[in-house]
Amino acid sequence: MPKVVKVDPLNPDKEILRDAAEVLKRGGVIAFPTETVYGLGADAMNSNAVKKVFEIKGRPPDNPLIVHIGSFDMLFDVSADLDECIIKSLKTLWPGPFTAIVKKRESVPDITTAGLPFVAVRMPAHPVALTLIEEFGRPIAAPSANRSGKPSPTIAEHVIEDLGDSVDLIIDGGETFFGVESTILDLTRDPPMLLRPGPIDPETLEKIFGRKIVIPNFVRGLGEAEKALAPGMKYRHYAPDKKLILIEDGENMDICIRNVIKDFLDRMLKPCIVGYEEYKYIASIYMLEFISLGSIRNPYEIAKNLYKGLRNVDKTSADLCIAIGVDEKGIGLAIMNRLRKASGYNIVKCT
């Protein structure tokens, strides 16, 4: 059995996190909750420790990690040549579910940034993550704590399922708050470019940075050509083993969903539905398994339930599953980016 310790997410026991920090000081690897998803952390400045993170996750070495900091002093330890205006904007966004790509300092090992001269930095808002970094006193490199290709973990059980005994310690702080990974903005480009949509939407970023930002097609989970800009984007992600078909949000959704279901049933294929309470009745009509992501009216609830829902796809007895899309505004952009990838671009459009 892996070593798991439970902590109160809002008021974590410092002693427990001090012991966890000791594991990091010895070059160990621990899973811990952040406000977005669980991370798999190691000392960002210790190449051997970071190497273990890549091995445990089965992560390709050309896919860099996010360096988690607990203060602006730590930001200056890992980044170089930051402009005052950018620092001011970062002070508005941090701590929070936002990652900045900036120029890296020499001292950050190449393995952490996969050889890039830039580093991804984030100051998480979760009390467990922040206290852990504080107790450790150094930045923590942490990708999401899933096996490469699987949906990110939003509860400790997902980490146990994917990585089990291979980590030195799992800190169980209950369910994460947002359920999708941080928004990533590349600040080394002019104008800045969104590399991954997340809880902080593009409109908010434009207000905070006081300028237009570029939103490439791959951010919507579409457009193959630009994928190489964010190394992680080129890998298959969030995908269940079972086939998943995504119905994009559009007109006459109820009829469109029913038609897609009927089409599969005619071919003797029994689908499950990954959707919203408002569509549950359709699953009942056809007696299909239904995975609820919450109400269509509450996109934050949908984001929070998304990865648990995708993991449950493989637990159904269905032949395949049909996921239902949402409007792309606000956090909806992040939800659609994850759903399009999870579907392997098997997309049905309703007209």
186: helix, strand or coil: strand
Bond from prior residue into 231 cis (ω within 30 degrees of 0):
no
Query: Quick one: what does residue 231 bind among ligand TXA, Mg ion, none, with the CB cut-off 5 to 8 Å set by partner type?
Result: ligand TXA
CA distance 34 to 186: 21
For tokens 């509450």, what's the residue? 298
Q: Which of 119, 171, 310, 326 binds ligand TXA (CB under 6 A)?
A: 119
Instruction: Please give the structure tokens belonging to residue 235.
Output: 């890998």
Measure CA of the first residue to CA of the last residue in the chain; give whole Å.
Answer: 51
Q: Which of 182, 292, 316, 337 binds ligand TXA (CB under 6 A)?
A: 182
CA distance 77 to 75: 5
Query: What's the residue count for the chain?
Result: 351
**116 is an interface residue for ligand TXA by CB under 6 A:** yes
Contact 41, 60 (CB under 8 A): no
**Minimum gap (Å) between residue 37 Cβ and Mg ion:** 8
> Does residue 152 come out as left (phi exceeding 0), alpha (psi in the -120 to 50 range) or beta?
beta
Q: Which of 9, 153, 216, 232 binds ligand TXA (CB under 6 A)?
A: 232
Q: Which of 144, 182, 183, 343 binds Mg ion (CB under 5 A)?
A: 144
Query: Quick one: what does residue 65 bind among ligand TXA, Mg ion, none, with the CB cut-off 5 to 8 Å set by partner type?
Result: ligand TXA
Between 271 and 299, whose beta carbon lies closer to ligand TXA?
A: 299
**99 is an interface residue for ligand TXA by CB under 6 A:** yes
- Which among 19-27, 180-188, 246-254, 269-277 is the span making contact with ligand TXA, rule CB under 6 A? 180-188
**343 is an interface residue for ligand TXA by CB under 6 A:** no
Query: Quick one: what does residue 116 bind among ligand TXA, Mg ion, none, with the CB cut-off 5 to 8 Å set by partner type?
Result: ligand TXA
**Minimum gap (Å) between residue 233 Cβ and Mg ion:** 11
Q: Which of 31, 50, 184, 247 binds ligand TXA (CB under 6 A)?
A: 184
- Which among 69-77, 115-123, 296-304, 334-342 is the span making contact with ligand TXA, rule CB under 6 A? 115-123
**Minimum gap (Å) between residue 88 Cβ and Mg ion:** 29
313 backbone dihedrals φ, ψ, rounded to 5°: -55, -45
Instruction: Please give the structure tokens belonging to residue 218.
Output: 């791959």
Instruction: Please give the structure tokens belonging to residue 128.
Output: 């467990």
| CA atoms within 13 A of residue 238's CA, in its CB half-sphere | 28
Query: Quick one: what does residue 64 bind among ligand TXA, Mg ion, none, with the CB cut-off 5 to 8 Å set by partner type?
Result: ligand TXA
CA distance 334 to 129: 22
CA distance 287 to 197: 35
Instruction: Please give the distance of CA 158 from its chain centroid, rounded to a whole number.
Output: 13
Contact positions vs Mg ion (CB under 5 A): 144
Write out the residues near ligand TXA by the rule CB under 6 A. Answer: 34, 36-37, 39, 63-66, 99, 101, 113, 116, 118-120, 122, 142-144, 181-182, 184, 195, 230-232
